[in-house]
Chains A and B, each alone.
Chain A
Amino acid sequence: METVIGNPLIKALIILFLLSATTAAGDAPFIISHKKASLTRLKSGAERVSVSIDIYNQGFSTAYDVSLVDDSWPKDLFDIISGNTSNSWERLDAGGILSHSFEIDAKRQGMFHGAPAVITYRVPTKVSLQEAYSTPILPLDILAERPTENKLDWAKRLLAKYGSQLSVVSIVLLFIYLVATPSKASAAKASKKKS
């Protein structure tokens, strides 16, 4: 009698233990987000910031209702030119990638330290909204004074970068030219012999 009661109880306990073990093993999405910001100086003198945010799911299950919000660009310092600072997607499968980018113009000069963007998503096993932060960005030097590059420095830089390849190609071409074309002395001799 005791063994009959004992066995199904032990079985239930084992099943419960296995279930808990699988959930503890990390069967959830792991959101990794990469935020990049680059500066471009326009001809008009304004500084354009191109922001791109990549979201990867390196977990084992799908993330649903993925929403990206980047509120780290205050309205008094930046104007949005194209795109939107927030976006949302229905799902992000395990191993998938989502990308979002936008452009903003900087108004004031100075160092700007940006905060990470916030990504929220849902998982079937939990009720509350899950949060993930993107990478922080390096401090941006907005409208920094750039010293004008000397022509000589520019030439030196190009030479240092491409000098070796250019010299190799030119030597090879010169060699081919020398081998392929007959020399003037031999051509004169040939014409003399004929006459």
Chain B
Amino acid sequence: MAMKILRVFFFGLLLLQFPLFQVVRCQSEIEADVEGSKLGIVREDVQDFVGSNFKPAPGVETICFFPRNSAKVVPAGEKTELLVGMENVGESPLNIITIEASVHLPFDHRMLVQNLTAQVFDNASVPPSTQATFPYIFALSKFLQPRTFDLVGTVVYEINQSPYQSTFYNGTIEVVEAGGFVSVESVFLVTLGISLVVLLGLWIHDQFKRISQKTKAASKVEVGTGTTDASMDEWLQGTAYNQSSSKSKKKK
């Protein structure tokens, strides 16, 4: 009878839980929303240039610089800015079309981790014999593992209506977890650590107490009046106690 009630009870519980059940959904796509801001109006023919491969022009030098971030630390999920310096050593002005970048695994460049949004420029030009700087803001997916990745950044530009492309950065970046000092995990760990230390302290304290009690027992034992020899006391002479002890002696 009891088993039957128990079974009914469990079935009822399961049925009750049905509306509360929620299937755990995991995000299969690693490429979450990526930031990239546009400076100016987009050109109509920009799609021809994005994703294509051109050769670098001979009179152009590029340099990549992470402002106030010499260690190239990129927090995952947050905006990071890098500056692209272009030097036009040639004779004619060059027009920047787009700056794009992609993240790869460091040991195998064919393994693409994330394609970053291309930043399109309209009316961004570098006159001859001048240097110019262009910003590129990007954000990596916040689900990226914190480790070193390879970042490849290219800038597509045109000189006299001919497109060219230069790689301004092909090196490692350090991806770290974005997050403050106070997070769920850190608070839990800190409290756990403190509690373990306190527990250890209490246990050591207990051990000390036990050891000190044992030594006290060996040296000071309260025994009362049992060991004192009553027959040695003078004031008991001639009393009942003395007579009874003498009687017991006689009996022996």
Residues of A within 8 A of B (CB): 26, 30-34, 54, 56, 58, 113, 116, 130-136, 138-139, 164-165, 168-169, 172, 176
Contact = CB atoms under 8 A, between A and B. Distances in A.
B83 A135 contact: yes
A36 B132 CA distance: 15
A123 to B, nearest CB: 12
B65 interface: yes
Contact of B191 (A116, A136, A172): A172
Contacts of A139: 40
Contacts of B129: 130-131
A132 B131 contact: yes
A138 B81 CA distance: 14
B182 A26 contact: no
A135 B134 contact: yes
B130 A132 contact: yes
Contact of B85 (A30, A54, A130, A131): A30
Contact of B83 (A34, A116, A131, A169): A34
Nearest to A176: B191
A132 B126 CA distance: 9
Interface of B: 37, 39-40, 61, 63, 65, 67, 83, 85, 87, 124, 126-127, 129-135, 180, 182-184, 187-188, 191
Given A31-B85, A135-B133, 6 more contacts: A30-B85, A31-B131, A32-B131, A34-B83, A131-B129, A135-B134
Contacts, number: 72
Contacts of B87: 30
Closest 8 CB pairs of A and B: A133-B132, A132-B131, A32-B85, A131-B130, A135-B135, A135-B133, A168-B187, A32-B133
Contact of B182 (A58, A113, A135, A165): A165
A30 to B, nearest CB: 6
Contact of B39 (A54, A136, A164): A136
20 contacts: A30-B63, A32-B85, A34-B67, A34-B133, A34-B135, A130-B129, A130-B131, A132-B132, A133-B126, A133-B133, A135-B134, A135-B135, A136-B39, A139-B40, A164-B183, A168-B184, A169-B187, A172-B188, A172-B191, A176-B191
Contacts of B180: 165
A34 B85 CA distance: 10
Nearest to A162: B182
A98 B230 CA distance: 102
A54 B39 CA distance: 20
Contact of A58 (B65, B187, B188): B65
